[in-house]
Structure 1
Amino acid sequence: MPWRRWRTVVVTGAVLVPLTVATGCGSVDERRTAALDAALDFERAVSARDGAAVCGVLAPAVREEVEQSAGTACEEGVLEEDVPSVEGAGGRGAGVDVYGRQARVEFPADTLFLSRFSGGWKVVAAGCTPRPQRPYQCLLKGG
């Protein structure tokens, strides 16, 4: 008898965990809006050449990669990168695809990949261009 009770708890728990994960991140529209907002924050910071703000939107691994490759603080090193700016876009022309905790935001001049962290959406790759039958080529990405 005790074994059956334990098995029921395990099966119930296995069913509830995916539901919690799937619904815990908000609706698709909420996630899409939040990812676009983070992407726009990144693009505005790039346009303004505000290194601190750019680094504030980058995922930790991307910040570390920028610092290692530039040999300087992220705030300085990220401004040396030639990430395209979508100044004045205001979200117009942006395509946003959200898959759970991952998102792709496509602007006419740039594509960003984002991931949802405990502190919000962060850019995990930027300055990305598609390549036929191959992964995107990105100027900024984590190591």
Structure 2
Amino acid sequence: MPAALLLLLSGCAPAAERGEAAADVAVRLLTAVQSQDGAAACATLAPETLAQVEEAAGQSCDRAILDEDLPSAGAVTGTDVYGQWAQVRLTGDTMFLAVFPGGWRVVAAGCTPRGDRPYDCVVQGG
């Protein structure tokens, strides 16, 4: 196998693994909400996102996140990783994640595209 091809193939593995890890967190959030497990759902959120959920609802995240209009967990249809950021597309949802010391965390969820304008997200950080 030519060295350039081998280098190209080996360079893709870390990005693919990072994308899978981000997708796992995204699915974990929606599955937790669907199962009414607010604590598990909040554990997937970035700190600012968790704080925003609590502030907007005036109650703890584990209760507030269950009242958000998030879709059911769907199949992952695509993942793009851009350094410390990731976009995970699922059937019925798009999520944005960032890397934190503990791993990937959801920055915004329940997002729908709006053409040239920023996504409209049900849950997002400040």
Q: Is the TM-score greater than 0.5?
A: yes
Which consecutive unaligned segments of at least 5 residues does structure 2 have? 1-10
Q: Which residue of 1 aligns with 2:69?
A: 82
Cα-Cα RMSD: 1.5
TM-score (normalised: structure 2): 0.86
Structure having the higher Rg = 1
- More displaced, 122-131 or 34-43? 34-43
Q: CA deviation at 1:94?
A: 2.1
Q: Which residue of 1 aligns with 2:5?
A: none
CA distance in 2, matches of 1:93, 1:82: 19
CA distance in 2, matches of 1:100, 1:118: 14
TM-score (normalised: structure 1): 0.76
Aligned match for 2:83, one of 100, 103, 122:
100
Q: Which residue of 1 aligns with 2:41?
A: 54
Which 4+ runs in 1 deviate beyond 6 A? none
Name the one with the larger strand percent.
2
How many pairs were matched up? Answer: 115
Alignment of 1:16-35 (within 5 A): 27-35=14-22
Q: Does 1:111 align with 2:94?
A: yes
| Aligned-pair identity (%) | 49
Contact 2:15 / 2:81 at 8 angstroms: preserved in 1? Answer: yes
**AA matched with 2:85:** Q
